Chains A and B, each alone.
Chain A
């Protein structure tokens, strides 16, 4: 299991479009993928869950990934955040 803290940097936060990109990506992997923000932990493969986080710009979230391809998933998710979801 990997845990990694990350800061949301795209200007509008994890709104509809970035959320759907993130969920689509996560669903291509076998590992379980959870995201924690404050005291809320949600399934990162659920669009509803990610939207419920309402993670705005500059908020800190924690990625919790567990499974056979956890390293690859982390790498791809980090890339997506680093690119600010192409915004």
Chain B
């Protein structure tokens, strides 16, 4: 037995056999063909380039890409249609009697090295285009990935270097046990989707030469461990754990179409936090009441150019349409300046957490902000979009940002009302919540940042991580103040940070008057089940517990005690 340790990025347990999807290590078969096969091999080339060109066209139509990206695809299409390449490949087939794959290898190897050796870098870089085309052709001809997908079943654990997002849906369809990746982290596109669909994923596993096809594996995506060819004892242990997990899943599934109500019938708005349109399917399946936090950083990360208004518009429209009449709260760009440094090098900051991030970034670069606002307003015609500004620290900032929204609305002749809210995640904002509430249509508390800024602790700093304590009375007081300010000004109050899905705090948040809890897609059902065990009336009648407690330990005791009294022990739903 061998144990490989990586990082758990989507929790769960998988038990099954390894299926390795290798990439780039394209193995080309060399085969001598008969005279009679020449025409057939040449015909395969024609159908391959036609299929790939069509594919590129569809891709171009579907996603309105940045001009630069478009030009790359156009260039690829021209290469596919190149008469000289066709002639060269056809000659290798007809004269040397090579099979198509091998003919392509010889032809493209020669072409790629010709470009690579050019003195002018400008031309040498073109080698990449030919490498891409070559790989596309071979992948198409070998139809490799789709063949392997056919082999997968509910006992498979899939291993690959990097997973394209489109693959996740295929894996779910095949009901595979889990996914092991070399690359990727919690925030990569495919991993976010996998988490939403409860597919266990562990990344950072170098499995080459350690795992081979058909090996028995246990994937522990709670701890981030892969066991290769485990012994009976370990297998039994994990089978047991897996059985429990399955039971839990089935149990949760049974409440997926129910509304979210407390044991005594009080309706709570249960919303989802999402990052991309593909997550809407799971949101709708689990009957969420809307999107409480639509993070919009995704299109700004890992690319060389800023997204265009149209690109953003299509992205927001896709979510807006799928949410139908349900509200979708779009949070405007919330990247730290450090992440935008690619475009704005002077934003390299010594202390990015206290730097040009959130709404400050948007107000510093109004052209980027306005592009986003225009896209949101245009997409708002297709559903119920609302706008929320992150990291607001003062009334002035909120006003300035709102003015930009009004300016864009006037330019677009946008007539409908658009609701604009404030994200409360800086103590200064919580302390003036009564004033912000007069100008905002709603509040949403970002508990992660609010706690970090209240106790001045970076929770990734291991030495002091213990001080990042959600039971700190100061932090809870700020939440209470915010909720009360919202209530007295009659505006909606939501919580969209991690606290919203934390069963120790849900009761307290509702007691404060929070009306909406917005949680990650994989926490929706658990949160609904927990809410259904709360007696809301008992909660409201319970005495205030924030007064007279100064330390976090005592606070925890008081909250735990309250929870035992307001939660109804009842049969499982």
Within 8 A of B (CB), among A28-81: 42-43, 45-49, 51-52, 54, 56
Q: How far is the CB of B73 from chain A (nearest CB, A)?
A: 12
Q: Is the CB of A47 within 8 A of B120?
A: no
Q: How far is the CB of B107 from chain A (nearest CB, A)?
A: 10
B142 at the interface (CB under 8 A from A): no
Binding site for A on B (CB under 8 A): 71, 74-75, 78-79, 82-85, 111, 114-115, 118, 120, 122-123, 126, 130
Q: Which residues of B contact A47 (CB under 8 A)?
A: 75, 78-79, 82
Q: Is the CB of B82 within 8 A of A48?
A: yes
Residue of B75, B78, B85, B118 near A54 (CB, 8 A) is B118
Q: Is the CB of A16 within 8 A of B126?
A: yes
Q: Which residues of B contact A56 (CB under 8 A)?
A: 120
Instruction: Give the nearest-CB partner of B122 in chain A.
Output: A15
Instruction: Give the nearest-CB partner of B119 in chain A.
Output: A54
Given the interface contacts A20-B74, A23-B78, A54-B118, does A43 sit within 8 Å of B123 by beta carbon? no
Q: Is the CB of A46 within 8 A of B123?
A: no
Q: Which residues of A contact B78 (CB under 8 A)?
A: 20, 23-24, 47
Given the interface contacts A15-B122, A16-B126, A54-B118, does A49 sit within 8 Å of B75 by beta carbon? no
Known: A15-B122, A20-B75, A45-B83. 12 other contacts (CB 8 A): A12-B122, A16-B75, A17-B71, A23-B78, A43-B84, A45-B84, A46-B82, A46-B85, A47-B78, A49-B84, A51-B123, A56-B120
* A43 to B83 Cα, complex, angstroms: 9
How many pairs, one residue from A and one from B, have CB atoms within 8 Å of each other in the complex?
Answer: 42
Q: How far is the CB of B85 from chain A (nearest CB, A)?
A: 6
Within 8 A of B (CB), among A1-37: 12, 15-17, 20, 23-24
Residue of A20, A45, A52 near B114 (CB, 8 A) is A52
Q: Which residues of A contact B111 (CB under 8 A)?
A: 48
Q: How far is the CB of A15 from chain B (nearest CB, A)?
A: 5
Q: How far is the CB of A58 from chain B (nearest CB, A)?
A: 14
Q: How far is the CB of B74 from chain A (nearest CB, A)?
A: 7
* A63 to B78 Cα, complex, angstroms: 21
* A16 to B79 Cα, complex, angstroms: 12
Q: Which residues of B contact A52 (CB under 8 A)?
A: 114-115
* A56 to B118 Cα, complex, angstroms: 12
Q: Which residues of A contact B130 (CB under 8 A)?
A: 48
Q: Is the CB of A15 within 8 A of B85?
A: no
Q: Which residues of B contact A43 (CB under 8 A)?
A: 83-84
Q: Is the CB of A51 within 8 A of B83?
A: no
Q: How far is the CB of A33 from chain B (nearest CB, A)?
A: 11
Q: Could you name 12 residue pairs across A and B whose Cβ atoms are closer than 8 Å?
A: A12-B122, A15-B123, A20-B74, A24-B78, A43-B84, A47-B79, A48-B79, A48-B84, A48-B111, A51-B126, A52-B115, A54-B123
Q: How far is the CB of A44 from chain B (nearest CB, A)?
A: 10
* A20 to B74 Cα, complex, angstroms: 9
Q: Which residues of A contact B82 (CB under 8 A)?
A: 46-49
* A56 to B123 Cα, complex, angstroms: 10
* A49 to B84 Cα, complex, angstroms: 7
Q: Which residues of B contact A46 (CB under 8 A)?
A: 82-85
Q: How far is the CB of A10 from chain B (nearest CB, A)?
A: 13
Q: How far is the CB of B79 from chain A (nearest CB, A)?
A: 6
Instruction: Give the nearest-CB partner of B84 in chain A.
Output: A46
Q: How far is the CB of A49 from chain B (nearest CB, A)?
A: 5
Q: Which residues of B contact A20 (CB under 8 A)?
A: 74-75, 78
* A38 to B82 Cα, complex, angstroms: 23
Q: Which residues of A contact B118 (CB under 8 A)?
A: 54
Q: How far is the CB of A86 from chain B (nearest CB, A)?
A: 15
* A4 to B377 Cα, complex, angstroms: 56
- A42, A43, A46: most-surrounded residue (chain B CB, <10 A): A46
Q: Which residues of A contact B84 (CB under 8 A)?
A: 42-43, 45-46, 48-49
Q: How far is the CB of B460 from chain A (nearest CB, A)?
A: 43
Instruction: Give the nearest-CB partner of B123 in chain A.
Output: A54
Instruction: Give the nearest-CB partner of A24 in chain B.
Output: B78
Q: Which residues of B contact A45 (CB under 8 A)?
A: 83-84
* A24 to B78 Cα, complex, angstroms: 9
* A13 to B465 Cα, complex, angstroms: 58
* A51 to B71 Cα, complex, angstroms: 16
* A45 to B85 Cα, complex, angstroms: 11
